[in-house]
């Protein structure tokens, strides 16, 4: 997933045969689901998260200016919905979720894509890692060979990003572009104040590291996007690589983020 294009992916929600860990009962969890024109998929995603959450996970769909009834579909499926008045980009949309999590004192915030690519049944694996003391947990597709296949170019790009981020944060990170993540209260606090506005996944790792947070990865199985629905072009991919690499370097050498402007 070199350039996640959330508007065009259509993947059915199917639970893969991996037992997810129990979700710890003492933690209040909020699943943040960013969605842009996903009216056809978001309802299933919401229902799958609620089912997998065993009544311990609230679902917040952040509707990033959809025009296709995404908000109504998500609400009908049982999610709370925050509807942004216009498209603000994936990073700002996800940050809205972190702001809600901070305002309402959630212990864990999960990020789950609204297109069904992330298996909600494996949320427990990430949340268990948070319960074990990690601040920011990434569900990695590459920690064990699960047959996640992609083109050689994209694979090369992902290896490069993994190398760059691993060097920047001083620990091995295998999957820097995975958007399936869990954040504890310290990370929620950080991201509510500062979160990269576009292409956030890679940069957020370095941001968390700079804030002194402990990053962990757990292996997950993810569904592959079916071919033919991608709108990735070589030019966009190149822009993505340059932008993200630059962001990692700037994040690494830049000054610490300034305190949030008063609201």
Partner 1 sequence: MTNRLVIVGVVIAAALVITLVSLIRARRLNERYALLWLIAAALVIIFGLWPAALDALASAFGIAYPPSALFLLVGITLGLVLLDTAIVISKLVARAAALAQHMAMTEERVRALEERLGPDQTYSSAAPPEPGSGPSPS
Name which of 71 and 137 has its Cβ closer to partner 1: 71
Name which of 1 and 74 has its Cβ closer to partner 1: 74
Question: Binding of partner 1 at residue 81 (CB under 8 A)?
Answer: yes
Binding mask 46-65 for partner 1 (x = CB under 8 A): ----------------x---
**Candidate residues 95, 122, 140, 187; the one interacting with partner 1 per rule CB under 8 A:** 95
Binding mask 221-240 for partner 1 (x = CB under 8 A): --------------------
Angle formed by the axes of helices 185-193 and 200-210, to 10°?
Answer: 110
Question: Binding of partner 1 at residue 80 (CB under 8 A)?
Answer: yes
**Candidate residues 37, 92, 122, 176; the one interacting with partner 1 per rule CB under 8 A:** 92
Beta carbon of residue 90, minimum distance to partner 1 (angstroms, whole number): 12
**CA 226 to the chain's CA centroid:** 20
**Candidate residues 2, 11, 84, 112; the one interacting with partner 1 per rule CB under 8 A:** 84
**Candidate residues 14, 16, 18, 103; the one interacting with partner 1 per rule CB under 8 A:** 103
The 10 Å CB-count burial string (b at 16+, else e) for 78-88 is ebebbbbeebb
Beta carbon of residue 170, minimum distance to partner 1 (angstroms, whole number): 29
Tokens of 191: 């991201």
> Segment near partner 1 (CB under 8 A), from 46-54, 85-93, 115-123, 165-173?
85-93
Question: Binding of partner 1 at residue 88 (CB under 8 A)?
Answer: yes
d(CA 258, CA 194): 9
Binding mask 172-211 for partner 1 (x = CB under 8 A): -------------------------x--------------
Beta carbon of residue 254, minimum distance to partner 1 (angstroms, whole number): 14
**Candidate residues 19, 212, 228, 263; the one interacting with partner 1 per rule CB under 8 A:** 263
Complete DSSP assignment for the chain: --S--TTT--------S-PPPPPPTT--EEEEEEESS-HHHHHHHHHHHHHHTTT-EEEEEEE-S-SSSHHHHHHHTT-EEEE-SS---HHHHHHHHHHHHHHTT-SEEEE--TTS-S-GGGHHHHHHHHHTT-SEEEEESTTTT------HHHHHHHHHHHHHHHHHHTS--S-SS---EEE-HHHHHHHHH---SSSHHHHHHHHHHHTTPPEEEEE---PPPPTT-----HHHHHHHHHHHHHHHHHHHHSPPPPPPPP-
Binders of partner 1: how many residues, by CB under 8 A? 19
Q: Which residues bind partner 1 (CB under 8 A)?
A: 62, 80-86, 88-89, 92, 95-96, 99-100, 103, 197, 261, 263
């Amino acid at each position: 997933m070199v350039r996640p294009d959330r508007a065009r992916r259509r993947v059915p929600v199917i639970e893969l045969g991996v037992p997810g860990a129990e979700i710890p009962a003492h933690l209040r969890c909020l699943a943040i689901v960013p969605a842009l024109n996903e009216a056809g998929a978001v309802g299933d995603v919401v229902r799958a998260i609620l089912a997998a959450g065993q009544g311990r996970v609230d679902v917040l769909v952040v509707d990033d200016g959809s025009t296709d009834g995404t908000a109504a579909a998500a609400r009908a499926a049982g999610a709370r919905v925050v509807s942004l008045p216009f498209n603000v980009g994936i990073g700002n949309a996800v940050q809205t979720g972190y702001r809600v999590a901070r305002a309402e004192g959630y212990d864990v915030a999960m990020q789950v894509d609204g297109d069904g690519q992330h298996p909600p049944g494996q949320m427990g694996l990430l949340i268990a890692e948070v319960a074990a003391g990690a601040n920011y947990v990434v569900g990695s597709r590459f920690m064990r060979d699960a047959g996640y296949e992609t083109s050689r170019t994209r694979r090369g790009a992902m290896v490069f990003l993994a190398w760059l981020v691993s060097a920047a944060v001083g620990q091995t990170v295998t999957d820097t572009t995975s958007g399936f993540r869990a954040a504890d209260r310290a990370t929620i606090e950080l991201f509510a104040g500062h979160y990269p506005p576009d292409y956030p996944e890679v940069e957020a790792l370095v941001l968390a590291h700079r804030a002194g947070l402990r990053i962990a990865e757990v292996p997950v199985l993810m569904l592959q996007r079916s071919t033919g629905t991608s709108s990735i072009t070589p030019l966009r991919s190149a822009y993505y690589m340059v932008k993200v690499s630059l962001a990692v370097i700037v994040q690494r050498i830049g000054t610490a983020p300034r305190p949030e402007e008063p609201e």
